[in-house]
Amino acid sequence: MDIHALQQIVHKTRDARRKQTLQKFSPADRDQLIHKYHPDFRAKAYRPLRFGPNEGEKTVVELATLLEGDSGIQDHADLAPLYTTDVLVVGGGGAGCAAALHAHGSGAKVILATKLRLGDSNSVMAQGGMQISVAPEDSPVTHFIDTLKGGHMHNDHDLLKVMVEEGPSIAKWLIELGVLFDRQADGNLHVKKGGGSSKPRLVTCSDYTGLEIMRVLKDEVINQKIQLLEFAAAIELLSDDEGNCTGAIFKDLDTQRLVVVAAKSVILATGGIGRLHIQGFPTSNHYGATGDGLCLSYRMGAKLAHIDTFQYHPSGAVYPEQLIGALVTEGMRSEGGHLVNAQGERFVNELDTRDVVSSSIIRECEEGRGIRTMSGRVGVWLDTPLLDVEHGSGTVEKHFPAMVLQFERFGIDISKDPVLIYPTLHYQNGGVKIDTNSETNVKNLFVAGEASGGLHGRNRLMGNSLLDLMVFGKRSGLTAAGRAGSMKQGKLTLKHLERFRAEARKHGNVSGVISPMVLPAYTRKVG
Amino acid sequence: MGLRLTPHPSPLTSIKMAQESTENVIDQPEVLKPRMITIEISGKKYEVPEGVTVIKAMWYAGQEVVRGVGCLGGFCGACATYYRTKDDPKVKTCLACQMAVQDGMSFTMMPPFPARKAIYDIQQLKDPKQDLFNLYPEAPLCRNCNACTEACPQKIDVREGVWKAVFGDFQSVSDMFMDCVMCGMCTPVCIADIAPNLVALYVSRAQGAHFAEKPAGLETRIKEINDGRFNGEWQKILSMNEKELAEHCATVK
């Protein structure tokens, strides 16, 4: 059928739906729904790790293969360093920039290396906002409770307390650097309510929050003259005789040469895993989201946490084909957008947590109440025109300029017609286990941001990622820099790799897979 | 199954649909039987399926792309591209991850352009509106040709923004450039050698750091945290066992 004909049911049922209030699921119903429909519970997609720090624990097959993969570096590689630094930051997104700026600010020599350009990351795409308890009726404790509920009570309490308490001072730092947060008429920060939150707590820069923060942080990294290594992909870490981290080996993607960097501390801010397309899902993630930091840390002996749980963002675009997987921001639901099935019915409280909303969309589609596309996809409607009806004409355009522009390019006016959405692989809930200084169980190896694990439990609450990046980027940077003055550069060896390889051989691992992946293989093999 | 590029395999092909009717299926004839079209990538002809994005067309044509791909979501500005459609002399600009290819289209990715970025300490600026002329002395030399506005894939009125910056209307500039993805396509076209995106970034940061009102509530909250206003609540929460904490959480709606 013509798409406009199919959309009619959304227009026709709008008035009736506006009068409806949908209760959130009870804890029991919510658990049942998730267990039945959430991709985290598809047993066939998982297998136990055969060796390494998380031996016996299950994760998705795609990640397990890479974690057990071999290094591209040979045992007797030349380890003469081209660069020597106090703090080596790997990754140019939010956590990497925050780490580099804070380490540099406390007087350390810093190198920031990234396999793409500075700032090419998921952070730049964060649209929904950043959770910070600034409203008078809100508090860090309430932020803590909401996050804990969202994470199914599995969050690391120490990490979480640190994050919610440092939120307001992070906002202050960003404002001082020139980030333009949305304001109320009285000059205070405007806050929006996010899914799974009991209080309005999202600070925003329209629907460009991540972009605005990243524009400023990138500019600041350059202004501070922090040394950059762009198009340099980390492919192995270095360790001393005690197993402490002492640097990293990069592959220059322009020249294919290896570059060794000696560092007193290494901060991995390498982001998530969306481009592994776990369980065949499309993803909202950037080109480089291939979980490199997880593989590097795992070979060093760093323990991972919650690596069996991933976040599927409820609203990835399903139509048009060109936008598949791209996010339709949660802000649209925060402002009242309904999710509507092919029968014109709502089926979930749209502001429930992401795992619940995603599971319910999958349920609707599996039970035949979805709208299908000819390329074999299925989805439900997000009633975007409803926002203009509720809040006045022009609301969609004013509050969601990025979304409007993105769909307009393909001839779709989201203020007039609903968009078709389905969950898209969005975030790795777990990662490398860290302490409150963002350090792993491997000394002088820090991990910050999405690559780290424990903070978000089994489901990250929307808006907590940007804050995570800033808080733990800062803590890793400050801790690493604080240590630099009183320590010597350690020896550069590959002893961790020898140990890892010996273990792999013992378990008969001969997959031949080299990790990290660095970039996904999208180029069609021609001829 | 129609066109299928590796990046986005459908997760649902293995799921049996409960209702295999054609009732709720969107027409996409282009997907069922993709029409192959001819495009030119950096002057060389390739056959690719119609309607895929410019970046996917490059992958389809067998090209490795390292420089020129970033977020793939239209936000990072890495994939700035020049293109021209069939028989049209006008060379336009786009973000390669956000543009569909069409028959006869010709495109080339923009190489990194060596624009000069001024170095400044945003917090130490004494008179940001005046400092603009020291940091970017070329900014007032705009000759009004409007090429920057025409080059902007985000549809920002760049020329207007440069003038507003020069006249000190920093508030308007920061509003106008909130959409800017820093692709830099406004820069090579400028006959006065202005880098409008960098000028606007400076102006926006100065607006945020120096002219925007300081949010009083934020200071209050920071002070409350430092003064330990929430310590009692923390103690209560953190001393609870798992069951008590779960029960407490259930009461917060």
Decide if A324 touches B, using CB distance below 8 A: yes
**Segment B64-90 mean pLDDT:** 94
- How much of chain B, in percent, has pLDDT values that exceed 90? 81
CB atoms A180 and B213 under 8 Å: no
Q: How many domains, in total, are found in chain A?
A: 2
Last residue of a domain, one of A395, A425, A455: A425
Res A210: pLDDT: 97
Q: Are residues A227 and A335 in the same domain?
A: no
Res A353: pLDDT: 87
Q: Are residues A173 and A28 in the same domain?
A: no
Q: Considering A333, A346, A363, A456, which one is annotated as catalytic?
A: A333
Amino acid at B195: A
C-alpha count within 13 angstroms, C-beta hemisphere, residue A79: 20
Res B7: pLDDT: 43
Decide if A322 is inside a domain: yes
- Tell me the pLDDT tens digit for each residue of B90-105: 999 999 999 989 999 9
- Within chain B, strands assigned E span 25-26, 36-41, 44-49, 80-84, 92-95, 106-109
Res A54: pLDDT: 98
Domain of A336, CATH number, reads 3.90.700.10
Cβ-nearest to A375 among B10, B213, B215: B10
Q: Are residues A441 and A414 in the same domain?
A: no
Q: Are residues A421 and A448 in the same domain?
A: no
Chain B residues with CB-CB distance to A376 below 8 A? 1, 10, 12-13
Q: Are residues A441 and A405 in the same domain?
A: no
Q: Are residues A254 and A343 in the same domain?
A: no
- Tell me the pLDDT tens digit for each residue of A253-281: 999 999 999 999 999 999 999 999 999 99
Decide if A4 touches B, using CB distance below 8 A: no
Quick check: A283 and A55 in contact, CB under 8 A? no
| pLDDT value at B23 more than 80 | no
- Tell me the pLDDT tens digit for each residue of A291-319: 999 999 999 999 999 999 999 999 999 99
Class (C level, CATH) for B122-211: mainly alpha
Q: Considering A14, A286, A299, A313, which one is annotated as catalytic?
A: A313
Decide if A63 is inside a domain: no
Task: Report how far residue B162's alpha carbon sits from residue B174's, in angstroms, rounded to the nearest whole number.
Answer: 11
Q: Which residue of B has its CA nearest to A362?
A: B12
Is the pTM higher than 0.90? The answer reads yes
Structure tokens at A109: 């020599």
Q: Catalytic residue at A313?
A: yes
Res A100: pLDDT: 98
Which of B23, B71, B242 is the best mutation test for A, with the most CBs of A within 10 A? B71
**Segment B168-196 mean pLDDT:** 97
Alpha-carbon distances of A173 from A298, B201, B203, B222, rounded to whole Å: 33, 18, 18, 12
Decide if A231 is inside a domain: yes
Closest-CA residue to A267 (of A289, A288, A290, A245): A245
Closest-CA residue to A266 (of A449, A63, A440, A116): A440
Quick check: B221 and B197 in contact, CB under 8 A? no
Q: Are residues A316 and A284 in the same domain?
A: no
Q: Which residue of A has its CA nearest to B155?
A: A405
Q: Are residues A250 and A354 in the same domain?
A: no
Looking at every residue in chain B, the average pLDDT score rounds to 90
CB atoms B207 and A140 under 8 Å: no
Task: Report how far residue A43's alpha carbon sits from residue B177's, in angstroms, rounded to the nearest whole number.
Answer: 47
Decide if A190 is inside a domain: yes
CATH topology of domain B29-109: Ubiquitin-like (UB roll) (3.10.20)
Res B21: pLDDT: 59
Q: Are residues A156 and A107 in the same domain?
A: yes
Res B35: pLDDT: 86
Q: What is the ipTM of this complex?
A: 0.93
Band (pLDDT 50/70/90 cuts) for residue B5 is: very low
Q: Are residues A382 and A250 in the same domain?
A: no
Q: Are residues A103 and A181 in the same domain?
A: yes
| SS3 of A234-270 | EEEEEECCCCCEEEEEEEECCCCCEEEEEEEEEEECC
Q: Are residues A386 and A444 in the same domain?
A: no
Q: Catalytic residue at A50?
A: no
Band (pLDDT 50/70/90 cuts) for residue B16 is: very low
Quick check: A216 and A97 in contact, CB under 8 A? no
Task: Report how far residue B164's alpha carbon sits from residue B203's, in angstroms, rounded to the nearest whole number.
Answer: 10
Task: Report how far residue A89's alpha carbon sits from residue A97's, in angstroms, rounded to the nearest whole number.
Answer: 8
A520 DSSP assignment: -
Domain limits, chain B: 29-109, 122-211, 216-251
How far the first Cα of chain B sits from its last, in Å, is 46
Res A406: pLDDT: 86
Show the low-confidence residues of chain A (pLDDT under 70): 526-527
Residue A334 belongs to domain spanning: 3-37+311-425
Q: How far is CA A33 from the centre of its chain?
A: 24
